[in-house]
């Protein structure tokens, strides 16, 4: 028997007197606006037990409830793409995503994504919101991800992410030598002029918190371990650039490669030739959606990032603090 989608949420004061479809999109962000509108029209999404129209105004304190059958996502085709599976059971699937693989079909990437691979591996995931995806990695970021294989798991993992109980640790290589770790607590949103970029916003941004610690200092670079408290798009890349320590290989937020003064040919080649942002999701911790058991997963550094670190180790040794760096 197919699991039903059964959700409810109360309208907070800041959404008072807004349209029903607008409120539903904010309270149930894992579902598209068009799907929510369909449920409203079918009577599968009710307000205080009553069916309303999509444009009707809804007020503070009202309860929105969904009770419907899952629908298979239209247009997402299963594709036989290799998966590096770290763990799998009836409810969750943990994978090591390679750099270059898009997570979710979108404009410019209609197929060949992680979702297409997941649907081929587990066809039942087609009935889940976003094909079981509960969080994302940028296309050129490698590393560990968890996907839901059941509706129970999807709802529970989304709740864990919202409650910030999921542990996510990344390895990053930054330009510049950090003196120590810290926390970046700066709200983020779309760049006001360059809409494909994200930015720190003084006004109108969503909360974004990044914790980082230094694990290795080189002559002109720093390896850091990063823990995310929130999960905004490009969060680590934006926050590190905001601190003036952009990631190696990230022209979007770091500009052109910076070559240290007196760099060897091997170091120059490694820095100029690194094909992506130097960022890898190394570890993931969560509570199992069904059993409540605490689970922790890790995945090794990919070959390209390990190669970069090897070159930095031999070709970019620590220098005196008063030396000219660039």
Q: Does domain 85-162 have CATH number 2.70.98.60?
A: no
In 3-state terms the chain splits into helix, strand, coil percentages (rounded to 5) of: 25, 30, 45
What pLDDT was estimated at residue 185? 97
| Token pair 């992680």: residue | 114
Gap between the Cα atoms of 58 and 101, Å rounded: 41
Within the chain, all domains assigned CATH 3.30.2350.10 are found at 85-162, 167-315
What pLDDT was estimated at residue 104? 87
In the set 21, 44, 138, 304, the catalytic residue is 138
Within the chain, all domains assigned CATH 3.10.290.10 are found at 5-68
Task: Name the CATH topology of 5-68.
Answer: 3.10.290
pTM of the entire predicted model? 0.80
CATH code of the domain occupying 167-315: 3.30.2350.10
What pLDDT was estimated at residue 34? 83
Q: Closest Cα partner for 64 from 133, 112, 18, 102? A: 18
| Token pair 């799907």: residue | 35
**Three-state SS for 33?**
helix
Distances (CA, A) of 316 to 208, 260, 304: 32, 9, 17
What pLDDT was estimated at residue 205? 87
Known active-site residue 138: yes
What pLDDT was estimated at residue 1? 43
**Three-state SS for 71?**
coil
Under-50 pLDDT residues of the chain: 1, 322
pLDDT in tens, 289-303: 999 999 999 999 999
């Amino acid at each position: 028997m197919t699991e039903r989608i059964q959700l409810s949420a109360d309208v907070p004061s800041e959404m008072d007197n807004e349209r029903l479809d607008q409120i539903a999109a904010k309270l149930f962000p894992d579902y598209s606006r068009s799907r929510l509108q369909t449920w409203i029209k079918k009577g599968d999404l009710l307000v205080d037990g009553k069916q309303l129209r999509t444009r009707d105004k809804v007020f503070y304190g009202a309860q929105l409830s969904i009770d419907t059958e899952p629908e298979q996502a239209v247009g997402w085709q299963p594709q036989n793409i290799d998966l590096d599976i770290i763990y799998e059971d009836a409810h969750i699937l943990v994978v090591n995503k390679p750099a270059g693989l898009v997570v979710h079909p979108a404009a410019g990437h209609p197929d060949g994504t992680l979702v297409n691979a997941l649907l081929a591996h587990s066809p039942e995931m087609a009935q889940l919101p976003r094909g079981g995806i509960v969080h994302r990695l940028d296309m050129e970021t490698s590393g560990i991800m968890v996907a839901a294989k059941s509706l129970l798991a999807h709802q529970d993992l989304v709740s864990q992410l919202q409650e910030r109980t999921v542990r996510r640790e990344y390895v990053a290589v930054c330009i510049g030598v950090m003196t120590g770790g810290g926390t970046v607590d700066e709200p983020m949103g779309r760049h006001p002029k360059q809409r494909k970029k994200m930015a720190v916003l003084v006004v109108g941004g969503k909360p974004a918190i990044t914790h980082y610690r230094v694990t290795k200092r080189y002559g002109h670079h720093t390896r850091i371990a990063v823990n995310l408290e929130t999960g905004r798009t490009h969060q680590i890349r934006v926050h590190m650039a905001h601190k003036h320590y952009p990631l190696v290989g990230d022209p979007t937020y770091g500009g052109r490669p910076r070559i240290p003064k007196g760099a060897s040919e091997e170091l120059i080649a490694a820095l100029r030739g690194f094909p992506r942002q130097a960022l890898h999701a190394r570890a993931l911790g969560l509570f199992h959606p069904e059993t409540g058991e605490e689970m922790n997963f890790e995945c090794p550094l990919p070959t390209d990032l390990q190669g970069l670190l090897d070159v930095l180790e031999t070709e970019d040794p620590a220098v005196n603090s008063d030396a000219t760096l660039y």
